[in-house]
Structure 1
Amino acid sequence: MMAIGLMNVIGSATSCCVTAGAFSRSAVNHNAGAKTAVSNIIMSVTVMVTLLFLMPLFQYTPNVVLGAIIVTAVNGLVDIPAACQRWKIDKFDFVVMLCAFFGVISVPVQDGLAIAVGISIFKILLQVTRPKTGSGKHTWDRYIP
């Protein structure tokens, strides 16, 4: 992830395309115990052989089965304890997280992310326009809230 980030920073100065790796592919690599980039070479050869020779076998595979394979691979990326912690810290932030989650599932990804960003901007505007203030009693030598 650090290498991809560094490539994006350097590439932004030279008008390069943004580089990224798929989270599902990263999750599969992590679950398989891959430690080096050689796993990407092996994976690309496997995908190439599959596309060239095994695609007719996948023609009749239902999309539900392919979706289940992807969901199983990405299952480790969902962090339920972090969501519970977010609920305890800031309930509105939790709502933004849920809107982003269900938004990218129910509508196209770009629209779901746009909804989440819009709600986040609305949350920030609410916090900026309505800051938490306190009033207290002031004495000459100390402040008593």
Structure 2
Amino acid sequence: MSHRVLAVRNSAKLSVLRIYGKEPIDLFVNVSESEGLPISIMEACGVGAPVLATDVGGTCEIVFNELNGRLLPANPTSDMIAQAITWLMDMPVGDFKRMRRASRCVWEDRFRAVENARQLIEVLQVGEFPELAKTDEVLPY
């Protein structure tokens, strides 16, 4: 299987999203030293790209080792990164396709805004949080 590599660094978000819309992405790499919950990885999963990332911040909530990508320890060596890329790019086509589907499923299950909003509305309507029920109380702001 041949692969195309696209390297983007500090690029405008819109330009990256345009690339996602036009080109299949075989692998998304994010080896940050620190993260919160990385939107860039969510977006990559949304287009079904397997992810190679460092296990920092909330990245482990998006990337599941060998399911939709691979997690490296914080501050990996260049050899560790190269080995992980090689592992992903050399995997059998069927395994790679399963990883792509898994990446998209992670996005759909955990980070799709429409679904998350629907679930929140459902929880609020069921009344699991009575303290959040609407009242006639006037707030001081």
Q: Shorter-normalised TM-score: what interval?
A: under 0.3
Hey, which of these two has a bigger chunk of helix by percent? 1
Q: TM-score, normalised by structure 1?
A: 0.27
Which protein shows a greater Rg?
Answer: 1
